Structure 1
Amino acid sequence: MTPASPDRLVVLTGADGRLGSRLAFRVAAAGGRQRLLISGRGAAPRLPDGTPLPESEVVVIPAEADARAMSSAFARADAVFLVPGRDRPGRLARHRAAIDAAVLAGVRHVVYVSSIGAAPDAIASGARDDWLTEEYLRGTDLAWTMLRTSMFHRTPTLAVHDESSGAGQQALLRAPAGQGAVATVSHDDVADVATAVLLDEDPRRHAGRTYFLTGPEALTFDDIAATLSAAIGRTIRYVPQTVEQARAQFSRSTATEVEDWITLCQAIEAGVLAQVSPDVGHLAGRRARSLEVWLDDYPAEWAHLRLPSVR
């Protein structure tokens, strides 16, 4: 890893999330100076002994913070890593407030985590928000880089449920994705790419660029179920759903969460996320991690899928 310049300060939003925390550790390992913005719902990443990451400061940003309130958190920053908000409504407004804050603070470069398929008429609801955020960012004088990501490896594991039937207990992966394929990607790969972009001594190398971050292969949900089965040691079967069945299954989730999941699956069925991109390899300097490798690396992420007797 190339050492970071001691004069360069990067600000990471969402530092208490899966992606932001991984990125924070990488920036720290490279000797970078960073300001970690957290929502207050989670904790900032720390070293194994509980001490803060070196050369880092933590700032809590309330969800309702406006551009002026946020601009102080961006002060003196060379670059800002902007992750999309998890909650709607209001997600797009918060994205715009963060971009306005970067302008007010004199930030030079914003790296935005977008999604593959982002477009004004995107099938996936989240991708439509991402497109509007991209357009807003392009309309400023800021240098920008878009990291358009695929579905993360972890996401399909959340749709696996144990169900009782005449055949006994079964583990079923239910999703309204038909036979579409998706090149799922790991949080680690996105974090590695973000590190390379944020700490590059020549940020102009990435200005105005859009990178597509995927895993090394496109898998159908049948393939995903088979890969999960091999790792876990029990059979997981994929059952395609209708939209109505998906809404009923996730009735306890918020309407926004259900809509985001269903429309993402519809985008997969339409082939929007089937592309395999070489960008992770080019920017991270190694091959993207497959779902199989991720399952081997992170057994705790899918431990809930094991039978009680083998947990």
Structure 2
Amino acid sequence: MGEDERPGIAVTGATGRLGGRVARLLAERGVAQRLAVRSPERAPDLAGAVPVRCAYDQPELVRSALDGVETVLMVSGSETPDRVDQHRTFIDAAAAAGVRRLVYISFFGASPTATFTLARDHWATEEHLRASGLSTVLLRDNFYLDFLPELVEPDGVIRGPARTGRVAAVAQDDIAEAAAAILVDPSGHDGATYSLTGPEALTLDEAARVISRRTGRSVTFEDQTVDEAYASRAGQAPDWQLDAWVSTYTAIASGELDGVTDDIPTLTGHRARSLDDLLAGR
């Protein structure tokens, strides 16, 4: 591929749910792109897309994959104890490869003191980005709306210490559309931070009722104490992951995931999808 033929955009995570959505949207718009993935053979077959091998923790691969690319969509890496270190390695290697701009999928209310433990990882990544010299765009998405139905246990109950807190969860399709809109014309967004939410903030009791209505299945919410939440999940995962699971609910209880923004409609030109819309296939 000649210098003038190199795609100016690279998308990471294209074998996953979110990155794959973004890659498909860009292909539909005729945008050339490089798909920077661990397993190129698993990358989607898209017009104008070139799969290249890349791993966040291998700087040589990153530099090779991103050589000649101007703008990178960085989907956060898999949840592991060393995820922040991998993110830092990737960012440094991207800068060394000559990347000018990085669009990062962060988390709503990312903070070093966030109740949701993984939001602290996103804050640490943002801090490294701010010090990297790269132009950055931060997409701080709320919990995935698509994830709420997955909280329902086999007996039809959502269990967790969320109390009556609200979560302004956002559909992955809307996040992908927002990211694609930025990647098509990124320069106007340099330095921006967007907080991506759905059109409403629901309690988990309200979410359970929507799921019941749309699926015809009896779904309820059972509020747990924090101790009950840990006890019911004990032995299922390492401690750091149990903390992440439980803090999913305590973050909702704290009010840190409440608050609806207009960033999805601003970026996509349409109203954000609600849980009812999602379950109805709209």
TM-score of the superposed pair, with normalisation by structure 2: 0.93
> Which of 258, 262, 266 in structure 2 is aligned with 1:278?
262
Once the 2 structures are TM-superposed, how far is the Cα of residue 150 of structure 1 from its aligned partner?
0.3
**Which amino acid is 2:118 matched to?**
G
Flag structure 1 segments of 5+ consecutive residues without an equivalent. 1-5, 46-51, 164-170, 299-311
Output the CA distance in 1 between the equivalents of 2:78 and 2:238: 12
Change (3 A) 1:159 1:41: farther
**Which amino acid is 2:22 matched to?**
L
Q: Partner of 2:241 in structure 1?
A: 257
1:291 aligns with 2:275: yes
**Which amino acid is 2:95 matched to?**
V
Q: For 1:183-213, what per-residue CA distance to the aligned partner results, in whole angstroms no more than 9, with x for missing partners?
A: 110111000010011110xx33111100010
Aligned length: 277
> Which of 231, 241, 252 in structure 2 is aligned with 1:268?
252
**Which amino acid is 1:233 matched to?**
G
CA contact (8 A) 1:12 1:81 kept: yes
Correspondences of 1:99-138 after superposition (within 5 Å): 99-138=91-130
Correspondences of 1:134-149 after superposition (within 5 Å): 134-149=126-141
CA contact (8 A) 1:183 1:218 kept: yes
Output the CA distance in 2 between the equivalents of 1:275 and 1:291: 16
Change (3 A) 1:71 1:41: closer
Q: For 1:102-128, what per-residue CA distance to the aligned partner results, in whole angstroms no more than 9, with x for missing partners?
A: 101111110001111211111111111
Change (3 A) 1:175 1:43: farther
**Which amino acid is 1:260 matched to?**
A
Q: Partner of 2:230 in structure 1?
A: 247
**Which amino acid is 2:52 matched to?**
V
Correspondences of 1:68-107 after superposition (within 5 Å): 68-107=60-99
1:154 aligns with 2:146: yes
Q: For 1:136-176, what per-residue CA distance to the aligned partner results, in whole angstroms no more than 9, with x for missing partners?
A: 0011211100000000012222221133xxxxxxx111122
Q: Partner of 2:174 in structure 1?
A: 189
CA contact (8 A) 2:118 2:244 kept: yes
Q: Partner of 1:54 in structure 2?
A: 47
Output the CA distance in 2 between the equivalents of 1:62 and 1:7: 20
Output the CA distance in 1 between the equivalents of 2:150 and 2:38: 23
CA contact (8 A) 1:9 1:32 kept: no
**Which amino acid is 1:119 matched to?**
S
Once the 2 structures are TM-superposed, how far is the Cα of residue 249 of structure 1 from its aligned partner?
3.0
CA contact (8 A) 1:10 1:198 kept: yes
- Identity, in percent, stands at 39
Bigger drift between 248-257 and 214-223 goes to 248-257
Q: Partner of 2:14 in structure 1?
A: 15
* Partner-residue secondary structure (3-state), 1:140: coil
CA contact (8 A) 2:56 2:62 kept: no
**Which amino acid is 1:280 matched to?**
I
Output the CA distance in 2 between the equivalents of 1:20 and 1:192: 11
Q: Partner of 1:234 in structure 2?
A: 217
4+ residue runs over 6 A deviation? none
**Which amino acid is 2:31 matched to?**
G
**Which amino acid is 1:208 matched to?**
G
Q: Partner of 2:163 in structure 1?
A: 178
Output the CA distance in 2 between the equivalents of 1:134 and 1:226: 36
Higher fraction of strand? 1
Once the 2 structures are TM-superposed, how far is the Cα of residue 39 of structure 1 from its aligned partner?
2.9
**Which amino acid is 1:54 matched to?**
A
Flag structure 2 segments of 5+ consecutive residues without an equivalent. none
Output the CA distance in 1 between the equivalents of 2:250 and 2:262: 24
